[in-house]
């Protein structure tokens, strides 16, 4: 069976980058979990993978941050980045779980149906090009770098006496 994406190699490559960059974001979230709990990466991975949905993983990180580290310098920035991760997760889900169609002049159309955190019928069709996909990829790349740097800041701050 042939699907519309088969005729759109540049868009497929961009979607592949999106999937790869999201994996890096999730890895950085997992490392943050280990840092916040003060455990090694193997144990953090075990706990992180025990939660099926990305939403629940991010919720856990947000709860840890706001309930146990509310008086730290990093708290506000970490909260901002975790909200950013939630938003990018939604965008990632839209790309990964869409039905793709070819439109006028061989344009690529992303058809999005029901998604997590959406409580009403929000079916929509959007024409998508490489630049729109790459824009999300760039945001994911920026987020993974920010999370990596933030984790290093958190490690240093947690070593300082309060």
* Mean pLDDT of the region 30-43: 96
* Mean pLDDT of the region 106-125: 73
Q: How far apart, in Å, are the Cα atoms of 50 and each of 30, 55, 126, 142? A: 11, 13, 34, 26
Q: What is the pTM of this model?
A: 0.90
- DSSP codes, 34-68: HHHHT--HHHHHHHHHHS-SHHHHHHHHHHHHHHH
Closest listed residue to residue 108, CA positions, set 1, 12, 37: 12
- 64-91 per-position pLDDT tens digit: 999 999 888 999 999 999 999 999 999 9
Neighbours of 29 (CB within 10 A): 24
Beta bridge partners of 53: none
Three-class DSSP category at 91? helix
Per-residue pLDDT band at 116 (split at 50, 70, 90): low
In the chain, % of residues over pLDDT 90:
78
Distance from C-alpha of 59 to C-alpha of 86, rounded to nearest angstrom: 9
The answer to whether residue 55 scores a pLDDT higher than 70 is yes
Q: Give yes or no for a contact between 18 and 133, defined as CB atoms under 8 angstroms apart.
A: yes
**Residue-level pLDDT at 124:** 78
- 120-136 per-position pLDDT tens digit: 666 778 899 999 999 99
* Mean pLDDT of the region 6-32: 97
């Amino acid at each position: 069976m042939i699907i519309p994406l088969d005729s759109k190699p540049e868009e497929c490559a961009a979607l592949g980058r999106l999937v790869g960059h999201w994996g890096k974001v999730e890895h950085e979230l997992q490392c943050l979990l280990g840092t916040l709990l003060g455990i090694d990466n193997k144990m953090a991975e075990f706990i992180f993978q025990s939660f099926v949905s990305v939403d629940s993983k991010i919720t856990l990180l947000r709860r840890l941050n706001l309930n146990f580290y509310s008086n730290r310098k990093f708290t506000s920035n970490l909260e901002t980045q975790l909200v950013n991760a939630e938003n990018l997760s939604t965008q990632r889900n839209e790309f990964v779980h869409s039905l793709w169609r070819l439109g006028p002049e061989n344009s690529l159309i992303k058809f999005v149906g029901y998604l997590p955190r959406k409580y009403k019928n929000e079916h929509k069709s959007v024409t998508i090009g490489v630049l729109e996909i790459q824009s999300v990829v760039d945001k994911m790349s920026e987020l993974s770098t920010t999370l990596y740097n933030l984790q290093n800041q958190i490690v240093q701050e947690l070593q300082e006496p309060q």
